[in-house]
């Protein structure tokens, strides 16, 4: 009887002690990595996530934001391995920057796969999104929500671009995966891989003629000031963002705190997508108008011009379909075909 009681007491003690032990593994601060700062929808998304978590955990989880990919010396393509290794505890990262390590994430960089925002949603909010989250978990991170940097448009300092032939020989800064090198080579341009940090001086000094980034990034970093006067609305690829946590960090939190972190990521992501798309679409095209008012020369492609770009980059699409996985690409194509058009 006494033995039983002792055992029972030991079990009770263990039950009481375990959560405390887990609680003791909370750190005073967690490091959140992000490429862009609070002047951009992307940086705002990271800030919002940190703020919601701090508030809702009453400061138990205190997240500090590191922008400019500063935890990896500005080399944004090293961000993913650093999350795996625990140098970074949390991140709001772009599929482009993580695609060198996670080949499936190149899906969003297949040229002209995604015609509109509904197509992005059809992937991230459906079976493809779930499959990619499973891939990320296998790669040792905990994915929590999809956000958005945006459709990437083309800017340059030299001339309007409406056809692949206009790009011939021009130097463009690209980042991330070799798929971008393939795309710009297929268009007979000269791609130069460099980080966002290095891209700024390269644009100022004219080391490159142009670059590609979402309109929000073009506007917030004031690319007109560095001579990027010509903009082509070609929407050739998009980069969704992904909110993730390192698995050891995740395991150190109580179940209810994990729930808070997950829901906060989902809320910050919803707000981020809304903001990233604001001013770009039909009834509210204010971002485009803002550009034109500032003196940017904007080229909107006709259907025939777009078709010329699609055709020129088709071999890249076919090559990368195999690298990404024909099954996953097939699933994505089906989901896009079945979406409700905007
Ligand atoms: O470096 C870029 O172009 C940026 C900021 O858009 C990414 O991190 C993919």
pLDDT value of residue 6: 53
Does 99 map to a domain?
Answer: yes
Any atom of ligand 1 within 6 Å of the Cβ of 76? yes
The dihedrals phi and psi of 289, each to the nearest 5 degrees, come to -65, -40
- What's residue 43's pLDDT? 98
Do residues 165 and 144 make contact, with C-beta atoms less than 8 angstroms apart? Answer: no
**Residue 8, in any domain of the structure:** no
Mutate to test the pocket of ligand 1, among 70, 72, 76, 221 (most ligand atoms within 8 A of CB): 76
Lowest-pLDDT range, 8-17, 71-80, 137-146, 166-175?
8-17
CATH value at residue 109: 3.40.190.170
In this model, does residue 10 exceed pLDDT 80? no
Task: Report how far residue 53's alpha carbon sits from residue 249's, in angstroms, rounded to the nearest whole number.
Answer: 14
Q: Please give the number of the atom of ligand 1 that sits closest to the Cα of 196.
A: 1
**Region 98-111 average pLDDT:** 98
96 lines ligand 1 (CB under 6 A): yes
Lowest mean pLDDT among 12-21, 184-193, 200-209, 217-226: 12-21
62 has a pLDDT exceeding 60: yes
Q: Is the pLDDT of residue 42 over 50?
A: yes
Taking CA atoms only, the protein residue closest to ligand 1 atom 8 is: 35
| pLDDT tens, position by position, 129-161 | 999 999 999 999 999 999 999 999 999 999 999
Ligand 1 atom closest to the Cα of residue 40 is 5
Q: What is the pLDDT of residue 312?
A: 98
Our answer on whether the CB atom of 94 is closer than 6 Å to any ligand 1 atom is yes
Answering whether pTM is above 0.85, one says yes
Specify if 148 maps to a domain.
yes
Q: Tally the C-alpha atoms within 13 A of residue 74's C-alpha that lie toward its C-beta.
A: 7
Give the range of the structural domain holding residue 176, as residue numbers without chain letter. 28-338
Counting from 1 in the atom list of ligand 1, the atom nearest the Cα of 97 is: 9
Q: Count of domains in the chain?
A: 1
Residue whose CA is at the smallest distance from ligand 1 atom 6: 213
Residue 146 lies inside a defined structural domain of this protein: yes
pLDDT range class, residue 17, cuts 50, 70, 90: very low
Name the phi and psi angles at 223, rounded to 5.
-70, -20
In a domain, 11, yes or no: no
Give the residue-averaged pLDDT of 209-227.
Answer: 95
Distance 93 CA to ligand 1 centre (A): 10
| Percentage of residues of the chain with pLDDT beyond 90 | 87
Q: Are 108 and 240 in contact (CB under 8 A)?
A: yes
CA of 97 to the centre of ligand 1 (A): 7
Instruction: Decide: 114 in ligand 1 pocket, CB within 6 A.
Output: no
Pocket test for ligand 1, best of 38, 92, 217, 242 (most atoms within 8 A of CB): 217
So what's the pLDDT on residue 342? 62
pLDDT at 81: 98
CA distances from 187 to 63, 213, 308 (A): 43, 17, 10
Band the pLDDT of 174: cuts 50, 70, 90. Answer: very high
DSSP 325: -
Determine, yes or no, domain membership for 16.
Answer: no
Average pLDDT over residues 58-80: 97
How buried is 120 (Cβ within 10 angstroms: 0-12 exposed, 13-18 middle, 19+ buried)?
buried
pLDDT for the residue 340: 84
Q: Please, are residues 168 and 185 in contact by the beta-carbon 8 Å criterion?
A: no
With a 6 A CB cut-off, is 35 part of the ligand 1 pocket?
yes
Mean pLDDT of the chain: 93
Residues 309-328: what's their mean pLDDT?
98
Between CA 177 and CA 182 the distance in angstroms is 9
Model confidence band, residue 3 (pLDDT cutoffs 50, 70, 90): low
Q: Is 2 within the bounds of a domain?
A: no
Closest ligand 1 atom, residue 173 Cα: 3
Q: Which two tokens stand for residue 60?
A: 């138990």
- Average pLDDT of the segment spanning 316-328: 98
Quote the pLDDT of residue 7. Answer: 57
283 — pLDDT class (breaks 50, 70, 90): confident
Q: Is residue 9 part of a domain?
A: no
pLDDT band at 18 (very low <50, low <70, confident <90, very high): very low
Is the CB–ligand 1 distance for residue 149 below 6 Å?
Answer: yes
Name the band, by pLDDT with cuts 50, 70 and 90, for residue 176.
confident
């Amino acid at each position: 009887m006494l033995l039983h009681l002792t055992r029972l007491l030991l079990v009770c003690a263990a039950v009481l002690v375990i959560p405390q032990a887990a609680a003791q593994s909370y750190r005073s601060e967690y490091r959140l990595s992000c490429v862009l700062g609070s002047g951009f929808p992307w940086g705002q998304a990271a800030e919002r996530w940190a703020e919601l978590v701090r508030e809702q955990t009453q400061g138990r989880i205190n997240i500090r934001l590191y922008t400019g990919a500063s935890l990896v010396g500005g080399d944004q393509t090293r961000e993913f391995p650093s999350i795996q290794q625990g140098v970074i505890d949390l991140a709001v990262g772009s599929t482009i920057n993580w695609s060198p390590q996670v080949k499936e994430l190149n899906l969003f960089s297949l040229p002209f796969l995604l015609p509109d925002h509904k197509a992005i949603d059809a992937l991230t909010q459906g079976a493809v999104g779930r499959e990619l989250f499973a891939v990320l978990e296998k790669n040792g991170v905990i994915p929590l929500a999809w956000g958005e940097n945006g459709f990437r448009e083309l800017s340059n300092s030299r001339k309007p671009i409406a056809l692949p032939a206009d790009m011939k020989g021009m130097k463009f800064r690209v980042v991330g995966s070799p798929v971008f090198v393939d795309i710009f080579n297929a268009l007979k341009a000269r791609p130069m891989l460099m980080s966002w940090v290095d891209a700024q001086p390269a644009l100022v000094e004219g080391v490159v003629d142009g670059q590609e980034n979402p309109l929000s990034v073009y506007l917030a970093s004031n690319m007109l000031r560095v001579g990027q006067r010509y903009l082509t609305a070609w929407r050739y690829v998009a980069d969704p963002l992904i909110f993730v946590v390192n698995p050891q960090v995740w395991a150190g939190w109580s179940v209810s705190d994990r729930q808070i972190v997950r829901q906060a990521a989902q809320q910050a992501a919803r707000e981020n997508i809304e903001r990233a798309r604001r001013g770009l679409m039909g009834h509210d095209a204010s971002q485009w108008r803002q550009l034109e008012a500032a003196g940017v020369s904007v080229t909107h492609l006709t259907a025939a011009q777009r078709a010329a770009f699609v055709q020129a980059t088709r071999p890249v699409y076919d090559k990368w379909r195999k690298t990404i996985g024909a099954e996953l690409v097939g699933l994505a194509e089906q989901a896009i075909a079945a979406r409700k058009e905007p």
